[in-house]
Amino acid sequence: MTALRLPTARETRRRADLLSRLPLVLAAVFAVLLAVAAVAPGILAPGSPTAIDPAQAFAPPSTEHVFGTDESGRDVYTRIVHGAGPSLLIGVAATAIGLGLGTLLGLLAGLGGRVADYAVGRTVEVLFALPGLLLALLVIVLVGPGPVPATIAVGLSSAPGYARLVRGQVIGIRATGYVEAARVLGHGRTRILARTIVPNTARQLLVLATLGIGQAIVWASTLSFLGLGTEPPAPEWGAMLNAGRTYLQVAWWMTVFPGLAIVGTILAATVLGRALERRAGGLR
């Protein structure tokens, strides 16, 4: 009888290391698939996302329709793949708006003196008193529904968080020794800002922006689910959730699979963002 061989400590550590990296690998693969779906959806789903076939309405998941069909016979898988582009575009654009506005406010508060810091600080506190989604809804009420207003609304609602982070980063970096040394050497404020403060702040902002894309997609999908963002028959994940909730008892796949796409995107963005955060922390 062959004796049972126990794994060595080195093999155990290697297996544990592989298991710890598995979420990151899966997140990276999912992110690559999302990128392909956003840039060239025809590679993953050659069909048209708006082509209807009433004879195939409410067809359950099968080999012919992997994720089933909706009430008009449209292939749910094809619509999810083609909906990755609009959903990601809204998330990235909203994050860019919030990041840009938040960076300007944070730099103004951190470098503009007491009056500017007080004014920006009180404004951010007022905005933080409102939940982000409620603030986005208020913007939609003022501007009107649609994908562009929804993107702007989500971006504006995320700006206070970025502003607070940038302000804290700027104040912390401004008090460091190398900034004081740059001042002693006669470097101007613009040069210190461009070569010292902004590069050191941008690293943390990149991590936060990666995490913020997932949150922006959730908020944008929520607005579409409420009928305030992208409207059917456009293949956008939130709009697909809104269309599928009516038929949840007879066609659960119309809601479950778009929801899984949103959840998977959030998880992938979170895992990649945390990995960037750990790497940025190790490079300090």
Q: Which three-class secondary structure state does DSSP give residue 228?
A: coil
| Cβ atoms 184, 192 nearer than 8 A | no
Distance (Å, whole) CA 275 – CA 190: 32
Q: Residue 189 has what pLDDT?
A: 67
CATH class name, domain 25-54+73-282:
mainly alpha
From the CB of residue 114, how many other CB atoms can be counted at a distance below 10 Å?
7
Average pLDDT of the residues in 129-154: 79
Q: Residue 215 has what pLDDT?
A: 82
Q: Residue 281 has what pLDDT?
A: 58
Question: pLDDT at residue 283 above 60?
Answer: no
Q: Residue 50 has what pLDDT?
A: 87
Question: pLDDT at residue 4 above 90?
Answer: no
Question: pLDDT at residue 211 above 80?
Answer: no
Q: What residue ranges do the domains of the chain occupy?
A: 25-54+73-282
Q: Residue 284 has what pLDDT?
A: 46
* Tens-place pLDDT, residues 89-101: 888 898 899 888 8
Q: Which three-class secondary structure state does DSSP give residue 28?
A: helix
Q: Write down the H helix ranges in the chain.
A: 9-39, 41-44, 76-111, 114-129, 132-143, 147-174, 177-184, 189-192, 198-225, 237-244, 253-282
Could you tell me which residue, 221 or 179, shows the higher pLDDT?
221
| Cβ atoms 185, 195 nearer than 8 A | no
Q: Residue 3 has what pLDDT?
A: 52
Distance (Å, whole) CA 151 – CA 156: 9
Residue 169 structure tokens: 């980063």
Give the CA count within 13 Å in the CB-facing half-sphere of 246: 9
Residue 164 structure tokens: 């607070």
Give the CA count within 13 Å in the CB-facing half-sphere of 178: 9
Q: Residue 186 has what pLDDT?
A: 67
Q: Mean of the per-residue pLDDT values for the chain?
A: 82
Residue 113 structure tokens: 């003196």
Three-state helix/strand/coil letters over 111-147? HCCHHHHHHHHHHHHHHHHCCHHHHHHHHHHHHCCCH
Q: Residue 1 has what pLDDT?
A: 46
Average pLDDT of the residues in 14-43: 85
Distance (Å, whole) CA 97 – CA 223: 17
Q: How far, rounded to the nearest angstrom, does the alpha carbon of residue 163 sit from its chain's CA centroid?
A: 17
Question: pLDDT at residue 214 above 60?
Answer: yes
